[in-house]
Structure 1
Amino acid sequence: MASELLSVEELAGGYGAIQVLFGVDLTVAPGETVALCGPNGVGKSTLVRMLAGLSRPSAGRVRLCGRDVTGVPGAKRVRLGMSTVIGQQAFGSLSVRDNLLMHAYARRRGEEPAATSVDGALAVFPRLAARARQPASTLSGGERQMLVLAKTLIQRPRLLVIDEFSLGLAPVVVGGLLELVRRLAAVGVGTLLIEQSVNVAMSVADRLLFMEHGRIIATHTPAELRAAPDLARRLVLGGHAA
């Protein structure tokens, strides 16, 4: 549907002769936060690579704001409003501010100056602002995640895809990042979180999708999972009721 920011239809594929995804369907609407949960090795990161345009599916479609972007390069998907966070990549020898400036120069012509965009991103993350002149290599894991998200915010995304959102981060850091996702949702940004922790996902997502063996096997709201703890445990362990 054109009203959806992201629509994935029967997506399949993998790496060479090894098939990882088998007919994945999912949607993300404006202002909606959707969490994709499941243990390692079920295909979550492969799906993210296909959404970002880093890998081509063997079948199926990816639509962004109603437009078929299945064969569109990743850089153009960014210009169309999709930003993807994979890992905590940064130029370690450059300062935090210079990392953000390099990202800002990729913005479209006619938008606000790069320095203004950087100042706005730093205002969202006071801890980064206090370290703006430090090399990125000196940041903690939580601060590096903030830097990656700050770079993404400069692009003013309509859809945000975040892989392994809370992995290795302290709870207080995760709480701050979740609050950012809530603030983005309030202004209409859709978010797809790839998340192993169901508790983290339930605290912020409108819907939780569970993946097993390259397929979406279940969709539940946080309220449904809280009402059925045994179901939540089975899904986390990779099993589901018939």
Structure 2
Amino acid sequence: MASDARDDVVLRVDGLSGGYGAIQVLFGIDLTVRRGETVALCGPNGVGKSTLVRMVSGLNRPTAGTVVLNGRDITGVPGARRAKLGMSTVIGQQAFGSLSVRDNLRMHCYPVPGHEEKPDTAVDGALAVFPRLRARADQPASTLSGGERQMLVLAKTLIQRPDLLLIDEFSLGLAPVVVGGLLELIRRLAAVGVATLLIEQSVNVAMSVADRLLFMEHGTIIAEHTPAELRASPDLARRLVLGGHAQ
């Protein structure tokens, strides 16, 4: 585990283990994400990526290890409280389908310490980032396309002003042009200091936005590489994403 001596570590995970009932999925995960850094979790299905995000977000409790956010141990903090501590989680494309896009966003305008912005101002600011959502602001969320629903859940995070953004299955099922726009948003968030941990099946997509890529296999992190290292060794990237423990 890298030293936490610098004060720019937003997320620190030490020795995280656990799973579902008697089935252990994670085995001693260590990782850090620093302010303004984007880290991608890669690897084949079933290696524990989503379970890791669920444990970091508080949706599942670990059996061992700690989760530290901005220097505070939040391992025992319920998931619902973590948003007010600076963590925002995007899992799937959840939305209240019968409510309008605007009302979906208004539901996320609960007070966040240091960001007591008026609801209408916060919603208008989020919609300004996504012109396609602004054009559909008064439509039911159920009428949105898959890409627009992903925009909606990311727009919610803009309202919450997180220090840490967790994203599960970032580009799954989305058209390349939509993915490109969402990647640009992640870059903009990083530029203002937001730390992001994302799950991404496509190594090419991950390399286009992440500062570091972590590869998982059998509930452990087996390798860490920068995009430059992977571009210089395409065979290495292929072995890692297929679940081969490259030496």
Short-chain TM bin: over 0.9
Q: Secondary structure, in 3 states, of the residue corresponding to 1:203?
A: helix
Residue type at the aligned position of 2:200? E
Q: 5+ unaligned residues in a row in structure 1: which ranges?
A: none
For 2:163, the equivalent position in structure 1 comes to: 158
Listed one character per residue, the Cα deviations across residues 133-167 of structure 1 (whole Å, up to 9, x for unaligned) are 10000000000000000011100001101000000
For 1:187, the equivalent position in structure 2 comes to: 192
Distance 2:59 2:115 in 1: 28
Listed one character per residue, the Cα deviations across residues 155-212 of structure 1 (whole Å, up to 9, x for unaligned) are 0001101000000000000000000000011111111111110000000100000000
Listed one character per residue, the Cα deviations across residues 98-120 of structure 1 (whole Å, up to 9, x for unaligned) are 11111113545970111110000
Distance 1:17 1:159 in 2: 30
Distance 1:190 1:110, change over 3 A: closer
Contact 1:83 1:160 in 2 (8 A): yes
Q: 2:240 aligns with which of 225, 231, 235?
A: 235
Distance 1:155 1:22 in 2: 32
Distance 2:148 2:115 in 1: 30
Moved more, 72-81 or 170-179: 72-81
For 2:35, the equivalent position in structure 1 comes to: 30
Q: Secondary structure, in 3 states, of the residue corresponding to 2:108?
A: helix
Distance 1:204 1:91 in 2: 29
The two structures have a TM-score, normalised by structure 2, of 0.96
Q: Secondary structure, in 3 states, of the residue corresponding to 1:75?
A: helix
Counting matched residue pairs gives: 242
- Written as runs of structure 1 = structure 2, the 5 A alignment for 1:92-107 is 92-105=97-110, 107=112
The RMSD of aligned alpha carbons is 1.1
1:209 aligns with 2:210: no
Q: Secondary structure, in 3 states, of the residue corresponding to 2:216?
A: strand
Residue type at the aligned position of 2:146? G
For 2:73, the equivalent position in structure 1 comes to: 68
1:17 aligns with 2:8: no
Aligned-pair CA distance for 1:74 = 1.1
Residue type at the aligned position of 1:192? L
Distance 2:107 2:194 in 1: 23
Contact 2:115 2:161 in 1 (8 A): no
1:81 aligns with 2:86: yes
Q: Secondary structure, in 3 states, of the residue corresponding to 1:103?
A: coil
Counting aligned pairs with the same residue, the percent is 82
Distance 1:151 1:181 in 2: 13
Contact 1:231 1:240 in 2 (8 A): no
Distance 1:15 1:110, change over 3 A: closer
Distance 2:164 2:230 in 1: 25
Contact 1:3 1:66 in 2 (8 A): no
1:136 aligns with 2:141: yes
Residue type at the aligned position of 2:186? V
Distance 1:110 1:190, change over 3 A: closer
Distance 1:3 1:96 in 2: 34
1:196 aligns with 2:201: yes
Stretches of 4+ aligned residues off by more than 6 angstroms: none
Distance 1:61 1:182, change over 3 A: same
Residue type at the aligned position of 1:133? D
Distance 2:118 2:201 in 1: 38
The two structures have a TM-score, normalised by structure 1, of 0.98
